[in-house]
Amino acid sequence: MIELPYGGWFFILGLVLYIHFIFKEQRAFFYSWLFGLGYFCNALWWIFVSLHHVGKIAAPISVLAVIALSAYLALFPAIAIKLVHQFHSSAARVLGLASSWAIMEWARGQLFTGFPWAGLAESQVDGPFFAWATIFGGLACAWFCVGLAAYLSQGKHNLFTKFVASITIISASHALGLISFTEPIGRPIDVALVQGNFEQSLKFDPEYLQQQINFYSNAIKSSDSHLVVAPETAFPVPLKFISQELISDIKPNTAKKNVILGVVSAGQSGLPTNSAIGLNQGNLIYQYDKSHLVPFGEFIPWGFQWFVDLFKVPLGNFERGSLTQTPFILEQGTDQIAIGLMICYEDVFGDELAKRQRISSLEHNLWINLTNLAWFGESQAPEQQLRLARLRSIETGIPTLRATNTGVTAVINPQGQVVHELPKYQQATLKTSVQAYSGKTPYVWLGDLPILIISGLFLAFAWYQNKK
């Protein structure tokens, strides 16, 4: 993914060239798959870092794992191309490709627990079609991104007409961004986001555990912010082994302070849970258990125990939390700020977060993501997940706080803009403020269903036009 302020714009130009040449090829599926293989190997190379550098799996096996996953993911854009490659009319190609691509992106995010990472939608947080995420979600961003590229490549209009049409579409999309579906609630909240920067290879080392616990404990106790947040597994030991004295020590001694930190807890079945706990003056402990688990890291797919056994770090089967968990409540005078929690890559799944807001008995006013990306070293994974978090704020219309171990620790406003962030790979605390918001966007109310129906209808129309 292009790391430029206008990367989403350049990405569309790249798609124009890709679509132009792929429709000239007879073996379109194979060449599309080959292109996707290279794209995903580049975008997901950080998986090699986690497998080889952290997990100590042999380099050849780690490389093969990245290639195998990329080969699978590359099937989806290849199928999208294959579905429309034989269409003859330019209109059928444009509408058909945009629609088939959106449907395949959705399928990629659903099958085998889903892996929608490195989709076209995240490029549009810095592109021309960001505002469509508020209406129809990230899939709509991908639809317009591919649709415009296909029109510029396959449309039969002259260059001037294409230019005018493109400016019109982009201008209308930007105008859409001026509409706000949420509004501020209460006063800005003083927050402290703690970034420990502990290496993953040492994170579960018994001789290193106390150092991490001491660091986060001291950072929490010394902060006077209204909300203090420490990242995923800030305390990398089971919660049952953490003394009540330590919990009492970090428990706020004033009603004006709240603490959220990542721990390893236990579910009703006795299996561990990747969790976050919330502490306030009343000594009430709120707990959120991660719902969307990571394959291999937090649950073992059938037949892959041998692969997990190759890791030299503790992994296992975790219990899955419910989608209907209530948010953490932060008291702010007469206002109650409902904070939805996410752990690790749960912010990759926009439809799940929208559903959580839609079915919750309490309206969410703020998102917090607790993440540990030390698994992936100094790779592009932190920037990629930051873009995804920005997309989630655009979709839901509420801010996001990101507290991470190694970065990117940041504050994202409802428009998906990063307003504050810490440098990566440094031990520091980000002290700032965030404004909570109230309301629901159309995407929160409706989810992915509208864009899937629209895409299905357009694809059927394109197929009908081609048959004629």
Per residue in 425-464, pLDDT tens? Answer: 999 999 999 999 999 999 999 999 999 999 999 999 999 8
Per residue in 44-100, pLDDT (tens digit) is 999 999 888 887 888 999 999 999 999 999 999 999 999 999 898 899 999 999 999
Mean pLDDT for 149-173 is 94
Query: What is the structure's pLDDT at 253?
Result: 83
Percent of the chain with pLDDT over 90: 72
Query: What is the structure's pLDDT at 30?
Result: 96
Q: Is 355 a catalytic residue?
A: no
pLDDT at residue 418 greater than cutoff 70? yes
| Domain identity same for 396 and 302 | yes
Residue 285, SS3 per DSSP: strand
Element (H, E) at 281: none
Residue 144, SS3 per DSSP: helix
| Domain identity same for 77 and 176 | yes
pLDDT at residue 207 greater than cutoff 50? yes
pLDDT at residue 406 greater than cutoff 70? yes
Per residue in 221-277, pLDDT (tens digit) is 999 999 999 999 999 888 888 888 888 889 888 888 999 999 999 887 878 899 999
Residue 66: both structure tokens together: 């990245």
- Provide the terminal-to-terminal Cα distance of the chain, rounded to the nearest Å: 39
- Band of pLDDT at residue 184, cut at 50, 70 and 90: very high
Per residue in 312-370, pLDDT (tens digit) is 656 567 889 998 999 999 988 888 999 999 999 999 999 999 999 999 989 999 999 99
pLDDT at residue 310 greater than cutoff 70? no
Residue 276: both structure tokens together: 């976050």
Which one of 41, 141, 145, 344 is the catalytic residue? Answer: 344
Q: How far is CA 285 from CA 248, 256, 462, in A?
A: 11, 16, 55
Element (H, E) at 133: helix 132-136
* Average pLDDT, rounded, for the chain: 91
Could you give phi then psi for residue 110, rounded to 5 degrees? -115, -45
Query: Distance of alpha carbon 162 from its chain centroid, rounded?
Result: 33
| Domain identity same for 193 and 244 | yes
Query: What is the structure's pLDDT at 52?
Result: 87
Directed axis angle between helix 7-22 and helix 28-43, to 10°? 150
CB neighbour list of residue 110: distance below 8 Å, 6 or more residues apart: none
Element (H, E) at 207: helix 206-222
| Domain identity same for 122 and 39 | yes
Q: What angle do CA 150, 153, 156 make, to 5 degrees?
A: 100
pLDDT at residue 3 greater than cutoff 50? no
Q: Using DSSP bridges, classify how beta strands 189-195 and 428-434 pair: parallel, antiparallel or unpaired.
A: antiparallel
**Is 86 among the domain residues?**
yes
| Domain identity same for 175 and 209 | no
Query: What is the structure's pLDDT at 22?
Result: 94
**Is 2 among the domain residues?**
no
| Domain identity same for 130 and 166 | yes
| Domain identity same for 197 and 345 | yes
| Domain identity same for 24 and 133 | yes
- Band of pLDDT at residue 188, cut at 50, 70 and 90: very high
| Domain identity same for 103 and 225 | no
| Domain identity same for 141 and 270 | no
Residue 249: both structure tokens together: 């020590």
Which one of 105, 122, 232, 346 is the catalytic residue? Answer: 232
Query: What is the structure's pLDDT at 1?
Result: 41
**Is 333 among the domain residues?**
yes
Q: Using DSSP bridges, classify how beta strands 227-229 and 258-266 pair: parallel, antiparallel or unpaired.
A: parallel
**Is 1 among the domain residues?**
no
Q: Is 290 a catalytic residue?
A: yes
| Domain identity same for 163 and 208 | no
What is the domain range of residue 463?
A: 7-180+447-467
DSSP per-residue string spanning 71-106 = HHHTHHHHHHHHHHTT--SHHHHHHHHHHHHHHHHH
> DSSP code of 239?
G
**Is 293 among the domain residues?**
yes
Strand partners, 242: none
Which one of 203, 257, 290, 440 is the catalytic residue? Answer: 290
- CA dihedral over 158, 160, 163, 166, signed as positive or negative: negative
Q: How far is CA 338 from CA 64, 103, 341, 351, in A?
A: 44, 33, 10, 19
Half-sphere exposure for 107 (CA within 13 Å, toward CB):
17
Say how many domains are in the chain: 2
